[in-house]
Amino acid sequence: MPSNFVCVICGKPVSKRQSYAYQNGRACKIHQETQQANQQKIEEKKQHDLKIHQEKQQAEERRKKKLESYLRPVRSIQNMCWKCKNEGITLQQYFMQMLVGLEREHLKGEFNLFTNPKRTAQLAGIDEHTRILMFHPLTSSCKLDFETYQFTKLTNNEVQLCQFCATECGYDLEKRHKELTEKSEHLTMEQLLKISAVYESSSIHEEIKQVAGTMELLEPNGVEN
């Protein structure tokens, strides 16, 4: 094996495999000084790797704490307008309560195809003051507090607003309503009957019937005092 280096300690020719990096050159592995210097380098690398690992762990902990700080408000804001902070009902809750209202009309024998939706809403515990919450793409016209703004980064830059704040922020609710209803407009009578049959036989229908059977009006959410 060719000797490409000269040992800086003993001056003898030495190959790379038979030597360690030492000072400004290389030195034979057999020298005590070389062994000590190499061991020190190994220890320093271990300490360096440990420091990097600890820094990564600390960064991950900071990330988790930061994420937790964003997630902490979830329980308090999932049924709340993120701008005015008033309570409301989500679209899912709205439709569930309207189903309760329809079921109450059935029980009272008042339901027909021309039933006034306002009457159904009244039986469902919903009135003109009820805040109905919907998600909208966040725009510059919607001013939020810093904590809520940070939280929108976890909701794909969407913000949950009641209809009053959405109007104030310039969102076109009629257009949004049209987008939501266009899908149902394409349903055929056969599809509607199938959906109705599935609903009639579902466990959720039984639960709604039980709620409706109490004949106790639901308390409207988000009513302004």
The verdict on 13 and 83 lying in the same domain is no
pLDDT in tens, 56-76: 999 888 877 776 665 555 556
Q: What is the pTM of this model?
A: 0.49
Classify burial at 178, counting beta carbons within 10 Å of its beta carbon; exposed 0-12, middle 13-18, buried 19 or more.
Answer: exposed
The verdict on 204 and 132 lying in the same domain is yes
Percent of the chain with pLDDT over 90: 12
Classify burial at 165, counting beta carbons within 10 Å of its beta carbon; exposed 0-12, middle 13-18, buried 19 or more.
Answer: buried
Instruction: Return the DSSP state at 87.
Output: B
The verdict on 124 and 192 lying in the same domain is yes
Give the residue numbers spanning the domain of 10: 5-71
Q: How confident is the model at residue 148 (pLDDT cuts 50, 70, 90)?
A: confident
Instruction: Return the DSSP state at 160.
Output: E
The verdict on 45 and 62 lying in the same domain is yes
pLDDT at 166: 92
pLDDT at 221: 42
Which among 25, 43, 71 is the end of a domain? Answer: 71
Mean pLDDT of all residues belonging to the chain: 77
pLDDT at 121: 78
* Gyration radius of the chain over CA positions: 35
- 139-153, 168-182, 211-225: segment of lowest average pLDDT: 211-225
Inter-residue contact 76 to 160 (CB < 8 Å):
no
